[in-house]
Amino acid sequence: MDTYRIGVVAGDGIGPEVIREAMKVLNTAAELDGSFRFEFTEYPWGCEYYLRTGEMMPQDGIETLSQYDAILLGAVGDPSVPDHISLRDLLLRIRHDFDQYINLRPVKLLHGAPCPLKDVSPEDINMTFIRENSEGEYSGSGAWLYPNSPQEVVIQNGVFSRKGTERVIRYAYELAKKEGKTLTSISKGNALNYSMVFWDQIFAEVGKDYPEVKTYSLLVDAASMFMVKNPKRFEIVVASNLFGDILTDLGAAISGGMGLAAGANLNPERKYPSMFEPIHGSAPDIKGKGIANPFAAIWSAAQMLDFFGHEDWGARVVDAIETMLVNRTSLTPDQGGSASTSECGDALCALLREQSK
């Protein structure tokens, strides 16, 4: 029996509410399969922890997490702590220190999920975003000079290394080749004359190794427009850290909402643990109400099953979400239902059990 040891950082707001359901689903899949099991260890890190201790996680937090096979994370952020402290010291720190340079975010409209676009069917929205996740606009490099003076200047640098840019673009080409799909690169070379000209150049260079992959290169403003007007043209998409962040919220909006948007932060070499988390935040507006949609966290857990080589179970979990959306059973209020977070998670586990009879 394989045991997967998972470090759990449920975090703030609705994080703990949705992560509880993701763990339920992982345990159910393991129990039904019988050949593997999960061992979860929870860490109470986040904004409450910060208010008590002055740190988002202990000094040796990264070392502690490094012993796990994967990390399951809920959400980080609370109005009581400045976002640039809470997010940089916990979520972004984990992504960076574990070199989780691939942020893999499916943007797929499931049958039964709401879509605000006209004349669009599930077949029209089926993309995989590969977001650079270790540097770029998120490098944290910069300066704040002469604060509170008339000469005040702030500098926020985008850092694009050859290694960092090549590896994410190569990953995207490999995926496009494996899946026989087109690859779209998103950039902004017309205005960002260093970083994005470099990005485009590397996209073309790496592409020489993949003559079979059909490619497109779009400016980020035009790409935003096409995601709304013609989402079908996107299959595999590769983008920098910030562009990928923004476009995947747009992707969530056209494929069922934040409650359905999943993500995986991968260290493909498996030198460090990868981390699975929904792309939504801590949703302080609905925190503690028990109405958060757990599907995004559950879909992220399905990505974890894929990552451990249990693609059959990953697919079964996503299929179960789709079945619930189609049958409109036990959905949370954001999907037009009246179920609580835990009723929704319980119903999904019941469906998995029923389907494996």
Residue ranges that bind ligand NAD, judged by CB under 6 A: 14, 18, 75-77, 83, 87, 91, 258-259, 277, 280-286, 292-293, 296, 334
Between 223 and 292, whose beta carbon lies closer to ligand NAD? 292
> Which residues in the 222-251 window bind Mn ion by CB under 5 A?
245
Element (H, E) at 105: strand 102-108
Write down the least CB distance from residue 312 to ligand NAD, Å.
26
Element (H, E) at 357: none
Q: Name all contacts of 319-326 with Cβ < 8 Å and 24+ positions apart.
A: 320/348, 320/351, 320/352, 320/355, 321/110, 321/260, 321/295, 321/348, 322/110, 322/111, 322/112, 323/351, 324/112, 324/348, 324/351, 325/110, 325/111, 325/112, 325/113, 325/256, 326/111, 326/112
Distance, in Å, from the CA atom of 251 to the CA atom of 129, rounded to the nearest integer, reads: 9
Residue range at the interface with ligand IPM (CB under 6 A); choices 46-54, 84-92, 297-305, 327-335: 84-92
Between 213 and 247, whose beta carbon lies closer to ligand NAD? 247
Write down the least CB distance from residue 61 to ligand NAD, Å.
16
Write down the least CB distance from residue 87 to ligand IPM, Å.
4
Between 245 and 306, whose beta carbon lies closer to Mn ion? 245
Residue range at the interface with ligand IPM (CB under 6 A); choices 19-27, 39-47, 87-95, 195-203: 87-95
First to last CA, the chain: 21
285 binds, among ligand IPM, ligand NAD, Mn ion, none (CB under 5 to 8 A by kind): ligand NAD
Distance, in Å, from the CA atom of 29 to the CA atom of 302, rounded to the nearest integer, reads: 10
Identify whether the C-beta of residue 264 lies closer than 8 Å to the C-beta of residue 244. no
Burial 164-175 (b: 16+ CB within 10 A, else e): bbebbbbbbbbb
Distance, in Å, from the CA atom of 343 to the CA atom of 196, rounded to the nearest integer, reads: 46
Distance, in Å, from the CA atom of 340 to the CA atom of 290, rounded to the nearest integer, reads: 6
Write down the least CB distance from residue 282 to ligand IPM, Å.
9
259 binds, among Mn ion, ligand IPM, ligand NAD, none (CB under 5 to 8 A by kind): ligand NAD
Residue range at the interface with ligand IPM (CB under 6 A); choices 85-93, 150-158, 267-275, 327-335: 85-93
186 binds, among ligand IPM, ligand NAD, Mn ion, none (CB under 5 to 8 A by kind): none
Between 195 and 248, whose beta carbon lies closer to ligand IPM? 248
Between 32 and 62, whose beta carbon lies closer to ligand NAD? 62
Q: Which residues bind ligand IPM (CB under 6 A)?
A: 87, 91-92, 245, 279, 281
